[in-house]
């Protein structure tokens, strides 16, 4: 774990949790902000890779202290999933 996972403070009432990106309604790839619960689509990638429109990163730029995200669809009941830290770029 990085320093950001160890010091994560969640806020209530900020983002809306659903199943689509908060700006464009894409359903994949969608990343959950672990600070506020906002959902944003992933980064764009050139073909043949599939990507989003970068709204998760846009949310991060608007809220510099929201550095941790988890990829929706990878989160399991035992607490595992694909996570990314914008602060550590890892």
3-state secondary structure at position 10: coil
Q: Could you tell me the pTM of the whole model?
A: 0.86
Contact between residue 40 and residue 56 where contact means Cβ atoms under 8 Å apart: yes
Mean pLDDT of 17-39: 89
Give, in degrees to the nearest 5, the angle at Cα 17 between 47 and 46.
5
**40-87 pLDDT, tens per residue?**
999 887 776 667 899 999 999 999 999 999 999 898 999 889 999 999
Element (H, E) at 59: helix 55-62
- Specify the pLDDT at position 48: 66
């Amino acid at each position: 774990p990085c320093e950001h996972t160890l010091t994560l403070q969640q806020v209530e009432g900020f983002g809306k949790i659903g199943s689509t990106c908060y700006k464009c309604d894409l359903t994949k790839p969608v990343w959950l902000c672990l600070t506020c619960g906002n959902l944003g689509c992933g980064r764009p990638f050139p073909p043949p890779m599939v990507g989003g429109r970068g709204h998760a990163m846009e949310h991060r730029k608007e809220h510099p202290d929201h550095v941790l995200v988890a990829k929706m669809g990878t989160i399991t009941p035992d607490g595992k999933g694909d996570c990314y830290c914008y602060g550590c770029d890892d």
